[in-house]
Amino acid sequence: MDQDLINQFSTNKTLKPLLSTNYSSTDFIKQTLQTNSVFATLGELSKGKEIVEECLEQVISKEYIDLFKRLLSIQNLENTNSEVQKGVNLLNQGMTDISKLLNTEHSELTNSIEKSKRLIMVIEILEILQNFVEQIRKLSKQMGKGTRELVLASITLKQIERSFFPKKQKEEKEKAEIDLNSVQYYEQSVLPDLSSLSIMKNGKQWITKLRLNILKQADILVRESLEENEESKLETAFTIYNNLGVLQERVKKQIAARSVYSSEKIETTLNMSNVSQIINTQGERELTKFLWGRIVLLMEIIYAQFSQIWLVNHILSTTHETNGNQRSLLEIYLSNNSSYSSFSNQNNTEKNVNQILHVFWKSLVNKVKDRLTRASNQAPQLQLVIIQNYPKLITLVHDTLEKINGLAEIQGSSLKEKKEPLVDSKLLLLCFSSFENLYLSQQN
């Protein structure tokens, strides 16, 4: 072997035993292939132009290119296992072909370093493509199944992106774990050739589409979790976002788009504009049912809006985010809240998430109180229904408060052991104090 080449790659711990042993050409080649080492083949695999061209023809043939193009163009991965398996089989066959070629005796031998590099590049590309297709096969099994598989898919996707489409050469240097000259060769010779292959160009487009598909499914989990107050779905979605490096960006976008804090729902729930129409068309009995139904719905909205804020905060604080980032995310959710704005402008560096939640709760209850007062003035029938059902209303309010404070019992909550209430119950009860006075006066 070329002594300069031996010296150049002798720093690699895996290759050193091979390079320091006097193998025959055939034994060395066999040993090299068994260890799947690319750089160890320099020098001894200098079989000249003839073998290089044969390898190129065998490995990067139209058959392989067409197969990969077909694999990468498939949108629905659920039924691609057989196609992917064909790809793996073809690549395995390619490795066998190379092994045969390398063990064939050639009369014309040369010690051309450039020819050796071309051959090594072919082997390197083949190994990368083989790994790429195997990762596709793994993804095809994971996509279209349950949430656990979706998380695994996000992990696999991240591995593919790091392995086949590196963003930074520094990462490749760390991954290579070889000396500087080898890294320079890898960067200057292998990667440019690899990126020029239509297979990998198509693969990059395919990976981008797959990433969007996984994120879309995670977005659906966020929506469902906020509608159902389902902790596990939200945690799964956040894990996927985190795996793909978009946690803060995606959470901000999702929550902002859904307007977790929205007074619009309270406004529409207590809209009394159709009271007269209901009386005229359905009668007072149906109006009573309708108005009581509005009160029940109002309690559900109060719980839903607070629990959404709490749930997002809980998952972020216990799973992925630091306190600082956690607060900055909550600030975005509450940025349209005037009460919160005045609180945040105090520049209180000691404020914590529980204080922010308290401000949110206070503002939410004030919205309810204000809208309830306006609605009862607009429709006296609402006031009458509340007074007639006041004991039932108080039970409903206490049930809502119990559900809200019960959120603190979620596993991992910092409030769980302290047994502190999440919200000030008196604030919500005060919303109905005027109705309580009317109810008591009637009882007397």
Give one word for 61, left, alpha or beta, with left for phi > 0 and alpha for psi -120 to 50: beta
Residue 316: which pLDDT band, with cuts at 50, 70 and 90?
Answer: low
Give 181 or 132, the one with higher predicted confidence.
132
Residue 278 shares a structural domain with residue 425: yes
Give 117 or 371, the one with higher predicted confidence.
371
- In terms of Cβ atoms closer than 10 Å to its own Cβ (0-12, 13-18, 19+), residue 264 is exposed
At 196-251, the pLDDT tens digits run 454 555 666 667 777 888 888 888 887 787 667 677 787 788 888 888 888 777 76
Mean pLDDT of 300-313: 77
- From 216, 240, 269, the end of a domain falls on 216
Asked, for residue 384, whether it belongs to a domain, the answer is yes
Q: What confidence score (pLDDT) does residue 434 get?
A: 86
Residue 266 shares a structural domain with residue 212: no
Asked, for residue 250, whether it belongs to a domain, the answer is no
| Phi, psi angles (nearest 5°) of residue 240 | -65, -45
Q: pLDDT averaged over the chain?
A: 64
Residue 93 shares a structural domain with residue 156: yes
Residue 193 shares a structural domain with residue 113: yes
- From 216, 251, 269, the end of a domain falls on 216
pLDDT at 83 exceeding the cut of 50: yes
Q: Quote the Cα angle for 304-417-230, to 5°.
A: 30
On whether the CB atoms of residues 353 and 326 are closer than 8 A, the answer is yes
On whether the CB atoms of residues 266 and 367 are closer than 8 A, the answer is yes
Q: DSSP letters along 414-431, please? A: TTTTTT--SS-HHHHHHT
Radius of gyration for the alpha carbons in the chain, expressed in angstroms and rounded: 33
Residue 274 shares a structural domain with residue 201: no
Residue 191 shares a structural domain with residue 326: no
**By mean pLDDT, which of 25-34, 153-162, 351-360, 371-380 is the weakest?**
25-34
Asked, for residue 236, whether it belongs to a domain, the answer is no
Residue 205 shares a structural domain with residue 286: no
Asked, for residue 120, whether it belongs to a domain, the answer is yes
Buried b (16+ CB within 10 A) or exposed e, 211-223: bebbbebbbebbe
- From 189, 216, 243, the end of a domain falls on 216
Residue 200 shares a structural domain with residue 274: no
* Residue range(s) defining the domain that contains residue 361: 259-443
Residue 166 shares a structural domain with residue 267: no
Give 88 or 135, the one with higher predicted confidence.
135
Q: What confidence score (pLDDT) does residue 165 get?
A: 66
Residue 168 shares a structural domain with residue 281: no
User: How many domains does one find in the chain?
Assistant: 2
HSE (side-chain half, CA atoms, 13 Å) at 441: 7
Q: What confidence score (pLDDT) does residue 396 get?
A: 93
Asked, for residue 229, whether it belongs to a domain, the answer is no
Asked, for residue 284, whether it belongs to a domain, the answer is yes
At 31-73, the pLDDT tens digits run 433 433 333 333 333 333 344 444 444 444 454 445 444 444 4
At 360-384, the pLDDT tens digits run 788 888 888 998 999 999 889 999 9
Residue 295: which pLDDT band, with cuts at 50, 70 and 90?
Answer: very high
Give 196 or 437, the one with higher predicted confidence.
437
Q: What is the largest CA-CA distance in the chain?
A: 116
Asked, for residue 164, whether it belongs to a domain, the answer is yes
Residue 186 shares a structural domain with residue 122: yes
Residue 264: which pLDDT band, with cuts at 50, 70 and 90?
Answer: confident
Asked, for residue 283, whether it belongs to a domain, the answer is yes
Residue 169 shares a structural domain with residue 310: no
Residue 81: which pLDDT band, with cuts at 50, 70 and 90?
Answer: low
> CB within 8 A of 236, min separation 6: which ones?
147, 150, 151, 218, 221
Report the predicted TM-score, pTM, of the whole model to 2 decimal places: 0.51
